[in-house]
Structure 1
């Protein structure tokens, strides 16, 4: 995977730290004031040496660019929710493969070890996948209910039965563990063998609270005073957050058009993550073999005994078949995948043409009366986390780029988009209650019940349970963020900071 790159990153950071704490090193000068950086005689303004963001564990670099987002074939379902449109996606990182059962079990083990001994079993319980998602009223799937998540035979298979909420929580946990290990390897914090529910390492808390020391024999120091301090964002040591990819990022990465690009020309568009209109390889060694795990037809999930084609009645290992031109596995077939976006039918027409995304909810740390950040939660399901609240609509009332904290239903479900010629509901401030006005939740015959709401999240890609039509990256469907199925998994992404290429 990317272990060697990550080790090289840690070595590079170690060298940078040596330069940072060494006052005798050659210092740079400000191009605006002429003052010398990292000089206590000039006030001690610190500028850390920085080379490059290195790929985090499990990730692959995706160089961004322009592409046509949306359907790549006839809309046979007549959903009209993916009209083709030209957009640009910034460079980012994405998991090489779907999150596996083994990776998720590591997460569950950590939660159990940290929270259950302190009577916070609910934190562990809410992360458990729904293994009953395999059940079918007219099929025998009990072996998967009993064994799929925990049996070692399936350890490298994609985790399923995970809701959008659970997937997002996993991404947050992964961010903390990766950054914790970076600081441990650099000697800036000590390895905690028995973390507590109130004191486990949290990246935001480490950056937020000056007294959040996480015991260490070696800490950074302020050049001016010599006092010890935590690593800061300005030091470039910690990696950005792991998160779910946006719909645009996922679709861009799945198509992998970088393999068909010659001097800024896309020589051939793609229907699937590979060239051509069929789902079989043209490699002479494997001629005729399927390149994805999907349902070939009614009752045909893996082919004929003696020559199983995609070798998957249900899922297959996360590293299986051929990767696309970005080096990503199973971007079509195996399991569908959660993305960050809130679903709307007309999102492709409404959203920005640069990094399009619907689902922004702006939050800020909760402050005390003296202006300091409130201490971490010491109880409840959010124990150990930094308290956050929605940004104040009052403070943002004169902003031009946004005014509300919750923008999930902006221009599609808010009061402004539901008003009629004789109404003045657009003047109401609280848009969180407006979506149900546009998308009726009254059951028949009083109304037409809509499944579209602000908790409806998009999932992309075909699965073992889908026909070939759904393998096109442009297709999308949606499900409530608290629900899960046996055919939806996920993978993580991370922002690229700095130059968009290596």
Structure 2
């Protein structure tokens, strides 16, 4: 019996030894590839399908950016509500880690952008016109600021000063351009693209490249090997790979090479970064509540070497913009260079003073009571790429796409201003009622109206490209043909059409997309029927501006069918139930029919104080708003970028 047990133990030992040896052989044979922890199959091995795992350590920090480690903080008012707006109730929220520009975007940065746009869109000069800041924003009715109108943007003396006169829409276009230029440079640096300075009217865009629709700058020697054996290079009869016949592919998101988009920071992100609470926190204790981006309730530097110097660029009191001659305290009559003054504890400059800054959010008075506690934001309009019949990403735009309804509204307002139309019994506020619209200009506007009408008809049939081509004809043909017609008319000798350049510049503001961009569309309710988190694309009015959140909600259809019919028939505009941003036809001609609020879906928040503001607005919790297509000599911006992965950096969680 003992003998059999010894034999059995010996067999077990041999079995274990053989098993360990076999495991060792298998391991030694597969050291070339990393294996899956759930299937045991090799990664990066074309012989078993070629599923790829690339080495990845950390997100690359984009040019000009600083990592802002996120966290929880009290967002909202910390100063007295002297304006009694009650639109910023304090509440605790959490902001994820993100990146933010070290400084505001400077004039030189913007000139670089304009130069690129001007030399790239040679067939679309209106795109360049749209990129021009409003230098006339410096003018004041009772102030002499012409030197800033003429010199501030382009003169090298102001090269490092923050760009101003830029609308929210222009700032977003800059962010889009910057995303594409940075990612293009990364791909050139990695040898995937060749340097291609001549991209006239068909520039590199990140989305087009990722969709496989950018071919002109590819480096034949630097493409990434496609490990999928079905794409080429693998002979199934012999089981061998032929490297020279292996297919190549574009960079994918999973390669970790492409950076996320540059964008404007959200209001919560900007406010969190401005406080710089990382500098006065011990463990999880904020040891001192901040009123400004620095400790204390004062605005002068308490350090011995700099005692008394202003910590930011703002108005100290009535008529005091820079101090007394002989000791110009903040040394800035208007804006100051972007690296002026002391940075906050994140290393960010001018988060208080110099210029106010655009943020991404749509303004609503009650956002502080409605928004999520995690990454709060109002302004979501969810979009998706346009797909063709086969389900692939549709061809990118090869024309300029216009906001046709916006152009129609602009033309209507332009004619009203040009004619100085004033309603019966309304005041003219000191302006003489005099029409500047002559018969020749009226004829031009009639022609433009006809083109816009035809474009709208095409748009109703979802012929977006054809509709925008019709608007493009106004720029390419109508203006020039009409001007030629006037020149050839003997009765109009010496006549100059004043409104043509005005209309060119004004209509250029309504460009939605430029050649090279991938087609996008709003999501629809029918494709989101099974979702519980959202259904429709436009969520700007959610809980503050939509019909459901208003006192005019009709309620139960069984008892309020007449009221529901008024909304369904268009007698009353559902978008105006809380914020009446236009004429309400349901009220006829009485005062209730007219605009009752300055708040609209196009009202955007801007944060921080500027060189024109008092110390009250130095507090990061202060918030104001302006229409997204308007600008000011006191508003600039800086860009942000999402942080992907660990909030604190490389393997910080360990």
- TM-score, normalization: structure 2? 0.71
One of 85, 109, 114 as aligned partner of 1:108: 114
Paired with 2:172 and 2:359, the residues of 1 have a C-alpha distance of: 10
The aligned runs of 1:97-246 (5 Å cut-off) are 97-116=103-122, 119-198=123-202, 200-209=203-212, 212=215, 214-216=217-219, 217-224=221-228, 225=232, 226-246=246-266
**Corresponding residue SS for 2:154:** coil
Following superposition, the deviation at residue 215 of structure 1 comes to: 2.3
Match of 2:59 in 1: 53
The aligned runs of 1:274-353 (5 Å cut-off) are 274-353=294-373
**Corresponding residue SS for 2:149:** helix
The aligned runs of 1:406-425 (5 Å cut-off) are 406-418=538-550, 419-421=553-555, 422=560, 423-424=563-564
Deviating 4+ runs (over 6 angstroms) = 425-430
Describe the shift of the 1:469–1:439 C-alpha distance in structure 2 as closer, same or farther (beyond 3 A): same
Higher helix share: 2
Q: Determine which structure has more spread, i.e. the larger CA radius of gyration.
A: 2
**Corresponding residue SS for 1:340:** strand
**Corresponding residue SS for 1:458:** strand
TM-align CA RMSD: 2.0
Determine if contact 2:204/2:214 at 8 Å carries over to the other structure: no
Following superposition, the deviation at residue 420 of structure 1 comes to: 4.4
Paired with 1:129 and 1:210, the residues of 2 have a C-alpha distance of: 31
- TM-score, normalization: structure 1? 0.91
Paired with 2:191 and 2:304, the residues of 1 have a C-alpha distance of: 52
Q: Which moved more, 1:390-399 or 1:97-106?
A: 390-399
Determine if contact 2:213/2:395 at 8 Å carries over to the other structure: no
Paired with 1:427 and 1:47, the residues of 2 have a C-alpha distance of: 55
Q: Deviations over 1:124-145 (max 9, x none)?
A: 1101000000000100000000
Describe the shift of the 1:214–1:25 C-alpha distance in structure 2 as closer, same or farther (beyond 3 A): farther
Unaligned stretches of 5+ in structure 1? 1-23
Paired with 1:425 and 1:434, the residues of 2 have a C-alpha distance of: 12
Paired with 1:62 and 1:250, the residues of 2 have a C-alpha distance of: 10
Paired with 2:617 and 2:569, the residues of 1 have a C-alpha distance of: 40
One of 94, 97, 101 as aligned partner of 1:91: 97
Determine if contact 1:436/1:453 at 8 Å carries over to the other structure: no
Match of 1:392 in 2: 524
Match of 1:6 in 2: none
Paired with 2:567 and 2:225, the residues of 1 have a C-alpha distance of: 52
Match of 1:471 in 2: 618
Q: Which moved more, 1:386-395 or 1:138-147?
A: 386-395
Match of 1:12 in 2: none
**Number of aligned positions between the proteins:** 475
Determine if contact 1:439/1:452 at 8 Å carries over to the other structure: yes
Describe the shift of the 1:141–1:48 C-alpha distance in structure 2 as closer, same or farther (beyond 3 A): same
**Corresponding residue SS for 1:184:** helix
Q: Which moved more, 1:316-325 or 1:415-424?
A: 415-424
Paired with 2:107 and 2:268, the residues of 1 have a C-alpha distance of: 26
Determine if contact 1:206/1:213 at 8 Å carries over to the other structure: no
Following superposition, the deviation at residue 211 of structure 1 comes to: 6.5
Paired with 1:297 and 1:243, the residues of 2 have a C-alpha distance of: 35
Following superposition, the deviation at residue 442 of structure 1 comes to: 5.5
Match of 2:485 in 1: none
Determine if contact 2:386/2:519 at 8 Å carries over to the other structure: yes
Determine if contact 2:397/2:515 at 8 Å carries over to the other structure: yes
Following superposition, the deviation at residue 436 of structure 1 comes to: 2.2
Paired with 2:566 and 2:533, the residues of 1 have a C-alpha distance of: 18
Describe the shift of the 1:32–1:479 C-alpha distance in structure 2 as closer, same or farther (beyond 3 A): same
